[in-house]
Amino acid sequence: MTAIHFIDGKWIEGNPPLMGPMDQAFWFATGVFDGARAFDGVAPDLDQHCARMLRSVGHFGLATELTVDDLIEVALDGCARFAAGTELYIRPYFYPQKGFLVAEPDSTRFVMTVYEEPIPEPNGSQVLLSSYRRPAPDTAPTMAKAACLYPMSGFAIKEAQDKGFDNAVMLDHENNVAEFATANLWIAKDGVAHTPAWNGSFLNGVTRQRVIKLLRETGIEVVERTISYDEVKAADEIFSTGNFAKVVPVTRIEDREIQPGPIYRQARDTYFEYARQSDIKVPKG
C-alpha cells in the first residue's frame, strides 16, 4: 500500500477516479489543498496545516462543516494504516463540483490523501534565477494554497532543470525575492538569518514560521525584510524551508559553489528536535 484516500467516508487505495469533466473544479481549477508530514511516530504542526487548509477553503468561497480537529482525526487515522515509522505525506483537498465560474459552496467535496513519501536527504540543491515571477495578490488567489498556482512552479522548475539546476529563485511582482519555486527561501549573512518578509505574493509557510520561532529561541537573529537577488548571490549561506523536504541547504547558486553553514545546521537540527517531540502522535495501527 503506497497511497490511500478518504472519500465519502471510507478509505480507498490506489488512484481512484474522482472528478468528472463537468465538475466546476475540473473546468476552472478551483481546488485547494494543504500538505503535512508524518514520520517517526509524529505529525508535527498538523494542526497548523489543517487550520490553513480551512482558511484556503474560506478564501475560495467554498464551504465545509469540518473542523481542524476533524481533519486531524481523519489524517491520523490514515497514517495509522501504514507501518510504524513510514515517512508519509498528508494532503487534504477540497473542491467544488457545481457552479459556472463562481463555485457553489454547498457542492464542496473533501478528500484526504495519505501516501508514502520519504523525506529527501539534505544533499543540497543547485539554483538560479527564474524568468517566472510570483503573482501580486490582486492578480491571483495567493492567500490560499490553491492548485491553480502550482503550474508556475512547474514552469520554473522545468526552466531550471533545462539549464542543469534543481530549483529556482522566484521574484515577486515588485522584482524582490519571493521564494524558491517549491519552498521558502532563507539566507545567512554575518551570523544573521534573513528571509523575505511575507507580502501576500507567496505562501507564508508553516515550516517557515516554525523555523523563525525556533531560531529566535536559540538566540539567532532572524530578520524578515525585502531581499534582492544580488543579496542571495552574495550570501554566506542559502537554504530552504518547506513541508516536503523540511530544511535543505543550497550548495550552488549559478556558477558559485556554497557550503552549508552553521545557521542552516542550527535550523535543521532544531526543527527536527522540535518535530520529534510533537504532541501530535500517530496512533499505532
Range of the domain at 194: 125-275
Cα 222 from Cα 62, distance rounded (Å): 36
pTM for this one? 0.95
Cα 142 from Cα 147, distance rounded (Å): 11
Question: Phi first, then psi: what are they for 276, rounded to 5°?
Answer: -75, -10
Domain boundary among 65, 94, 116: 116
Asked whether residue 285 is assigned to any structural domain, the reply reads no
Domain boundary among 89, 116, 143: 116
Q: Within this chain, do residues 156 and 264 fall inside the same structural domain, yes or no?
A: yes
Asked whether residue 280 is assigned to any structural domain, the reply reads no
Q: Are 149 and 202 in contact (CB under 8 A)?
A: no
Cα 272 from Cα 278, distance rounded (Å): 10
Q: Are 205 and 48 in contact (CB under 8 A)?
A: no
Looking at the predicted structure, is the pLDDT value of residue 284 above 90? no
Q: Within this chain, do residues 260 and 137 fall inside the same structural domain, yes or no?
A: yes
pLDDT digits (tens, 9 = 90+) for 48-76: 999 999 999 999 999 999 999 999 999 99
Q: Within this chain, do residues 53 and 171 fall inside the same structural domain, yes or no?
A: no
Asked whether residue 281 is assigned to any structural domain, the reply reads no
How many separate domains does the chain show?
2
Q: Within this chain, do residues 166 and 267 fall inside the same structural domain, yes or no?
A: yes
The confidence band for 1, taking pLDDT boundaries of 50, 70 and 90, is low
Domain boundary among 116, 133, 154: 116
